[in-house]
Chain A
């Protein structure tokens, strides 16, 4: 089956990319101008304890061995220990992954249908009032950086104008992020406002193109009702490129939330990354960077496959 061949080729490429990504992360973090042992023990330590810790951390191994040990460890589910907290990374990261996943999933559930609807409707109402307003709004929203948007939302809803929503998110240890629903409103709103413009703009463009295409014309000529044309022919074909954008945005949500999580004190992987960068916690930085890159690669893969499967034109061309 050509589809299987296509997927396995994309999968192979993904694995190669991930390997290169891990190599890059390793090389880049090795270039940190500080000795992890020194950073852990502080400046007043003795040479002996430095030596012992370097031994324990395996810093005397050749770089190639360090890299392969790290990679093999990760493949076996052993992500190593944080230099700073001495916790197992898996233990430290797991609740944060859950928290970030929550942001990401809720953000996606709100923004994707919303933006597909806005995009499709704009395309149908091309150049009418709704289209003009929505495309201008999305253009403006897309341009504003998240920390500016987030700060503006905090100003508006929490501190200066209204005092209706908490300015920060507090999640109890072991508690689910939705245990404090009002606390997650602003971070989710910021993410939705960051993602929706892109997806809706892509959806609109894609829909416009499809609506002008020959086969939609053909379908209309065959006498199908406009409703059938739209739902059976236009929409599925228009969704292809949208999958790409959705996937990219999901991937962005996985890693690009550094700013949003920092702003709202949200205990997710984005803030964990910002924290470990400041603390120069190499194993955590390496793991998080790899994980985020992994999500990116995976999302792209899923998007490619979904595009092919969802788009009748492409599906036939593979056969």
Chain B
């Protein structure tokens, strides 16, 4: 599963974008992302403003009615994507940085260090991701940093294993040996010689982890562990409004749709990347054909 050395992130994405699914995925991602980032500026009301009788529909000025606390569903929906998106980005970034560093280190050092890192990964991997995050978040009060840390931590070994696997075969190649012979520092070798050669699997993995981070963070919010419980948040909204879904469906249905569409978008985009980089699973839509 190695990318060819000519694969650079930009080139890879460009290649992937020739596939229809990548295009769809990316447009969904951009669409939902844009809505989450700039949506708050278009919200007609604040996220905590009292509009009218709770759980009502057909209220002038409130497109999708009011939620369980008489707040504007549409405004909260527009505002509620941002924190999930930012937290997921943060957690994924953290998991990537830690996973890449440890994965590359394991691949390059081999022997005992490799074994140790892999065993530590095994230990963390023994917990389902949501379980690990739940344990950590419930122990200390939920805060943005703790959410990022716990989801990032559970992401690390998954990234690390993939990177190590991809890097192992790169490490064997001549140019790495040459670099070692030339006396280059291990850091330089890791990040400037090895890393650029594993961007394919890395991008695919990053995308996959991003999808899972969104799901995990939304699930945590659904279980009541959102960093700011007053703030609008798609996961929290589903939890708050699912009781009254029969009377006022939008409070729960809008975020359900949004999370589903967002994760489908990242999934499609990631699948496109995988098809052009990894060489597995070449369907009809593969650029080679």
Contact = CB atoms under 8 A, between A and B. Distances in A.
B119 A20 contact: yes
Contact of A160 (B128, B135, B249): B249
Contacts of B260: 143-144, 148, 152
Contact of A145 (B128, B259, B282): B259
Contacts of B253: 155
B117 interface: no
Given A144-B260, A145-B263, A151 B219 contact: no
A144 B266 CA distance: 11
A292 B130 CA distance: 12
A11 to B, nearest CB: 14
Contacts of B138: 277-278, 280
A152 B256 contact: yes
B159 to A, nearest CB: 16
A22 to B, nearest CB: 10
A251 B282 CA distance: 29
Interface stretch (B42-50, B169-177, B238-246): B238-246
A39 interface: no
Interface stretch (A27-35, A47-55, A78-86): A27-35
Nearest to B239: A147
Interface string A254-293: 0110110010000000000110011010000100010011
Nearest to A205: B281
A33 B146 CA distance: 15
Most buried by A among B215, B218, B253: B215
B249 A127 contact: no
B219 A145 contact: yes
A126 B284 CA distance: 8
A205 B282 CA distance: 8
Q: DSSP majority for the A interface? A: helix
Contact of A205 (B120, B268, B280): B280
A269 to B, nearest CB: 11
B246 A292 contact: no
Interface string B96-130: 00000000000000000000000110110111111
Given A127-B284, A292-B131, A143 B267 contact: yes
B271 interface: yes
Given A143-B267, A145-B215, A151-B238, A16 B127 contact: no
A153 to B, nearest CB: 11
Contact of B126 (A17, A28, A256, A285): A17
Contacts of A151: 238, 242, 252, 256
Given A33-B139, A147-B219, A142 B267 contact: yes
B127 A159 contact: no
Given A151-B238, A296-B125, A256 B281 contact: no
Contact of A21 (B126, B219, B264): B126
B135 A139 contact: no
Q: For this complex, into which size category does the number of interface residues on chain A fall?
A: 35 or more
Interface string B134-176: 1110111000000000000000000000000000000000000
Contacts of B214: 145
A224 interface: no
A274 B223 contact: yes
Interface in B248-289: 249, 252-253, 256, 259-260, 263-264, 266-268, 271, 280-284
Contact of A289 (B21, B135, B281): B135
B283 A127 contact: yes
Contacts of B119: 13, 16-17, 20
A209 B280 CA distance: 8
Contacts of B68: none
Contacts of A145: 214-216, 218-219, 259, 263
Nearest to A208: B281
Contacts of B222: 147, 259
Contacts of A251: 128
A71 to B, nearest CB: 15
B233 interface: no
Contacts of A258: 128, 130-131, 134, 223
B55 interface: no
B172 to A, nearest CB: 20
B211 interface: yes
Contacts of B266: 143
Given A132-B283, A139-B268, A262 B215 contact: no
Contacts of B263: 143-145
Contacts of B139: 28-29, 31-33
6 tightest Cβ-Cβ pairs between the two chains A and B: A143-B267, A145-B215, A127-B284, A293-B126, A143-B263, A256-B128
13 contacts: A13-B119, A16-B119, A20-B119, A28-B139, A143-B264, A145-B218, A151-B238, A155-B245, A204-B281, A256-B129, A259-B219, A259-B222, A274-B134
Interface of A: 13, 16-18, 20-21, 24, 28-29, 31-33, 126-127, 131-132, 135-136, 139-140, 142-148, 151-152, 155, 159-160, 201, 204-205, 208-209, 251-252, 255-256, 258-259, 262, 273-274, 277-278, 280, 285, 289, 292-293, 296-297
Given A143-B263, A273-B134, 9 more contacts: A17-B119, A132-B284, A139-B271, A142-B267, A155-B245, A159-B245, A205-B280, A209-B280, A277-B134
